[in-house]
Chain A
């Protein structure tokens, strides 16, 4: 069974721009979660989607948004990028809460 895929793997953007990251979950997984990982803050939860509905949201500003499509694929968008948004963005899919399968991540660098 194919794992979670994320595109692109690497991205360089300029402050003020916006970015869209994509995540394709494991086939049959309807829950998709997004996390941000930085050296200073560690792994932080962004939001979780299930059947196209956002069920939970972490403590991030409104510049961070997401959506899920009917095929369970998910996208997250960050608008008006700031230097502090530079991070590894991870997507995870699951059928149960604590057994989540993570993708390789998208490394975003904001200059």
Chain B
């Protein structure tokens, strides 16, 4: 499993766009990049997954450059309710029995 590095914390204001970058220099050819969001005392929630270029859903966008050694989770116009911990995970999408390895994540604090 590729090791990931992401900022420990970020601060933002309501209405701003937030970009959280994750570094994964040792990503393997068949690895996907997945982001989870976790609110206090709740289980993590799957946000988005991608392999290359750009993926967008109703919650976020994921930008992956051609070399795939990093990725950026983009949250448009954040609100107070986006205050949470965001985890970047890298690994094969369908490798049977693989455990998700969560790092420390990025604690995003959104204020008014």
Contacts and interface: CB of A to CB of B under 8 A. Distances in A.
Q: Do A and B come from one complex?
A: yes
Interface of A: 4, 33, 35, 42-45, 48, 50, 55-56, 58, 88, 90-92, 96-105, 107
Given A91-B43, A92-B100, A97-B96, 13 more contacts: A4-B43, A33-B100, A42-B102, A42-B105, A90-B43, A92-B43, A97-B91, A97-B95, A97-B100, A99-B46, A99-B49, A102-B45, A105-B42
A97 to B, nearest CB: 5
Contacts, number: 69
A16 B30 CA distance: 45
Contact of A55 (B41, B44, B96, B102): B96
Contacts of B28: none
A103 B43 contact: yes
User: Which 6 A-B pairs rank lowest in CB-CB distance, beginning with the nearest?
Assistant: A102-B43, A55-B97, A45-B99, A43-B102, A56-B97, A98-B34
8 contacts: A33-B100, A42-B102, A43-B100, A50-B96, A99-B34, A99-B49, A102-B42, A103-B43
Nearest to B40: A88
